[in-house]
Structure 1
Amino acid sequence: MILPELIVVLAAIYLGARLGGIGIGFAGGVGMLILTLGFQIKPGAIPFDVIEIIMGVIAAIAAMQVAGGMDYLVSLAERLLRKHPRYITFLAPLVTYAMTLLAGTGHTAFSTLPVIAEVAKEQGVRPSRPLSIAVVASQIAITASPISAAVVFLSGILEPKGVSYLGLLAVAIPSTMVAIFIAAMITNFLGKELHEDQVYQQRLAKGEVTLRGETVFKEKPGAKLSVLLFLIGIIAVVLYATAISETVGLIQNPVLPRNEAIVIFMLTIAALICLSCKVDTAKILSASTFRSGMSACICVMGVAWLGDTFVKAHINEIQDFAGSLLRDYPWMLAVILFFASTLLYSQAATTKALMPAALLLGVSPHTAIASFAAVSALFVLPTYPTLLAAVEMDDTGSTRIGKFVFNHSFIVPGTLAIALSVAFGFLFANLFL
């Protein structure tokens, strides 16, 4: 029955892709209904461990946003980009990477994309270059963020196999950063120069291209303090997770496990921001980061639950089919994760659904860490929110989706960045672990 059940899983994922956004999670529920009641498969585990981390982190980020901290960070990013506009293709991904690394969510890129597009136009740089690699960088940075649900979950299942939380970050951060930088260098030569682009010339002649100039930033009283408190929260998470790590062992038999600690620390930071920055908590519920975060929770719940249910029901067949293949060709795990994340639309959901099964199949921790960046192939189907936002914000028309769907501005920079991240991941895993 594995084939018809697999068809149900793929059909549910396809339906989710058609619905988009939170509909991905809804479609996962439809797939679960058919697998459990239709095929009598025992439900897998609901990924509450991943969901609770997303909720805790998003609560703190949303509080910081309402306090003005997010606008303050964007103003710093704009200042950096306008100070060195000629290097926009290199600085744009650095900005989105850093913001995602700190926040644990790629949705922070929304606030910087308009700035990237405007600075590129002002300098006569083809906006598709910095926009495409910036979007990709915001997605890949999830696999290097100390507080992202994907990193925390992978660290949890690797810890018993001798790889610490810091060990995972020691490989993930440098490998993805170097990969993004090299990918940006190559992206800087992709496509025609802006003045040679026919679509741009047509839009310019019709008066559809505008230059808005530098935005005026009005800093809220608690903006800087909210950012400082959030950074303190991140440092606290990293220090505590390191202290309770079995390989470090500073705290033996901790009363507070890592996942719960992250949630507690983040909720505490959110409370401190609200108190010290006089935040109206009612506004947090309508903050864009809060809405996107809660949407992500539903998506992870539906899709990751569906994937876990299917994999657990057929783990023996999967092991017989894929076990020897992954042992002989370990890099194939990256290929599997790449295509799975294309459909699952979430780094956390892909990690939760496939990484435990990969380790059960005999994949080494080194291979799992090296291949980890491949769960970030959310750009392949041109329907991801930040990707669509980049297309909409580029009124020059250089950032576009082609007639054949897959021939869009993000496919080459994204595939290249992930391939390089995996390659450097194998290199650094052998050096550092």
Structure 2
Amino acid sequence: MDTLLILVQGAMLLGLIAVGVRFKGMAIGLFGALGVLLFVLLFRIAPGAVPVSAMLIIMSVVTAAGAMQLAGGIDYLVAQAQKVIRRFPNQITYVAPLTTFIFCVGAGTGNIYYSLMPVIYEVALANKVRPERPLALSATAGQLAITASPVSAAMAAMVGLLAPLGFHITDILMITMPASIAAIVVGGLVMSRMGKPLDQDPEYLRRIASGELTPPAADAQPKAPTRAGKLSALLFLGGVLFIISAGIFSQLRPQVMVDGRLVGVDLAQLIQITMLTVAAAIVALAKVKASEIVKSSLFDSGMVAVVALFGVAWMANTFIAANQTVIVDGLGSLARQAPAMIAVALFAVAAMTTSQSSATFAIIPIGIALGLEPATLAAMWPAVVGVFLLPTNGSQIATVELDRTGSTRIGSAVINHSFLVPTLLYAVVAVGLGLLISRVAGGGA
């Protein structure tokens, strides 16, 4: 009976996401909120957690990005990036996700991707590369980076579980880091062939014909950078680099008193503080009118993403919180019967809980109890990239809204979204190569 009820609730959740996708834009969030109401009224389930932190991060980043766009900073960044990729424009499909991966590894959070997202989009569009390719790869790479970051919350959980077995953070990184980088390269090879070229994509052509979007000129050249544009870009990048540095070196985080002791400011809050401060600096130094920021296309897309994330993540969290015990226990039982299924269980639990840390705490202890080698568990761990299996993550929704060409999509069947192939590729390649590395190193099961 419990299984049937969960299936009914899951079908309702996916159905409402599909309806929201059909109406486009923030509608996915509006129908997500309807889903929360239905869970409350029909199933007597308490509303789940609202993703406040993710929403505030998006708001702060797009505010800074919008200010930078008005100052000409996006033009400046595109011009600099184009110097690198002009000879081989398709290389952004490799460069963007690898860059995102490195930045997110340093900061310990996939939220850094929000800062890079507008630049990746603009460079891809300017070079007539289908934006879906680098954007989908980069957003997913930001999540894969969590298992290769020495400062991520999930890594802290993994180290805590494996350290008593004599397997430390450097041992984990020796497996997850090369396996993840290889997975991203393979993802680039595959995604560079996915989807029609931008100038043949029906949705892109429809938007051009309707006047919703102006195509880049055939001989488009980067706009000449202005002093204000360069300054705004440097301020924006300075903020990003500070966040990354604070993620790597905790002593760089401002210390505040909490319960009578000094602790570093939470990194999520530091991102919000830093990016809003960057926006203030751009307004003051680059002479941007603060009242105009809300009119920028980046801010507009970002705020649509906030509403969309609000509703759909709220609905997903409501469903997960009500059924987490059944879901996790069921997958844990499966893993006990077939130890090789640990990776599948990590992937599935991450998808259902939308949390790498939760999946780590739920499944890795089962692998330890089964007697699997720590190196084998570390090799399977990148499977937590399964958080992107369903399109309910903030960076997924923000990417779809940012891509005005329409190439990055959530399909009518919900599961057929732009991030599905990168997610599956990263999981399979990273886990497969990780197991090979662990065996070569003498740590196989």
Q: TM-score, normalised on structure 1? A: 0.69
1:264 lines up with 2:273 in the alignment: yes
Deviation at 1:366, TM superposition (A): 4.4
Quote the residue 1:13 is aligned against: 17
Deviation sequence 1:243-279 (CA, Å, 0-9, x none): 448xxx9x97415222222211221122112211111
Correspondent of 1:180 among 180, 184, 187: 184
Retained in 1: the 8 A contact 2:144–2:426?
Answer: no
1:36 lines up with 2:40 in the alignment: yes
Correspondent of 1:325 among 309, 319, 334: 334
Distance 1:192 1:299, change over 3 A: closer
Quote the residue 2:220 is aligned against: 214
Quote the residue 2:75 is aligned against: 71
What SS does the corresponding residue of 1:285 show, helix, strand or coil?
A: helix
Quote the residue 1:120 is aligned against: none
Deviation at 1:374, TM superposition (A): 3.8
Deviation at 1:242, TM superposition (A): 3.5
Deviation sequence 1:50-92 (CA, Å, 0-9, x none): 222222222222222222111111112222222x23xx43344
Equivalent-residue separation in structure 1 for 2:235 and 2:178 (angstroms): 26
Quote the residue 1:159 is aligned against: 156
Retained in 2: the 8 A contact 1:32–1:306?
Answer: yes
Correspondent of 1:224 among 226, 230, 244: 230
Unaligned runs of 5+ in 2: 105-111, 161-168, 203-214, 366-376
Quote the residue 1:389 is aligned against: 405
Distance 1:36 1:62, change over 3 A: same
Quote the residue 1:420 is aligned against: 429
Deviation at 1:314, TM superposition (A): 1.7
Retained in 2: the 8 A contact 1:133–1:414?
Answer: no
Equivalent-residue separation in structure 2 for 1:28 and 1:414 (angstroms): 23
Equivalent-residue separation in structure 2 for 1:408 and 1:361 (angstroms): 27
Deviation sequence 1:259-305 (CA, Å, 0-9, x none): 22221122112211221111111221122221222222222221222
Retained in 2: the 8 A contact 1:104–1:145?
Answer: no
Distance 1:156 1:319, change over 3 A: same
Correspondent of 1:292 among 264, 286, 301: 301
What SS does the corresponding residue of 2:364 show, helix, strand or coil?
A: coil
Correspondent of 2:246 among 240, 247, 252: 240
**Which letter does structure 2 place at the counterpart of 1:256?**
V
**Which letter does structure 2 place at the counterpart of 1:143?**
Q
Quote the residue 1:361 is aligned against: 362
Quote the residue 1:111 is aligned against: 122
What SS does the corresponding residue of 1:215 show, helix, strand or coil?
A: coil
**Which letter does structure 2 place at the counterpart of 1:138?**
S
**Which letter does structure 2 place at the counterpart of 1:6?**
G
Deviation at 1:36, TM superposition (A): 0.9
Equivalent-residue separation in structure 1 for 2:99 and 2:286 (angstroms): 24
Quote the residue 2:136 is aligned against: 136
Distance 1:269 1:26, change over 3 A: same
Correspondent of 2:289 among 255, 276, 280: 280
Equivalent-residue separation in structure 1 for 2:34 and 2:417 (angstroms): 30
Unaligned runs of 5+ in 1: 118-126, 200-208, 341-349, 393-399
Deviation at 1:408, TM superposition (A): 11
Q: TM-score, normalised on structure 2? A: 0.67
Retained in 2: the 8 A contact 1:374–1:422?
Answer: no
Quote the residue 2:166 is aligned against: none
Retained in 1: the 8 A contact 2:48–2:321?
Answer: yes
Equivalent-residue separation in structure 2 for 1:135 and 1:293 (angstroms): 15
Retained in 2: the 8 A contact 1:226–1:277?
Answer: yes
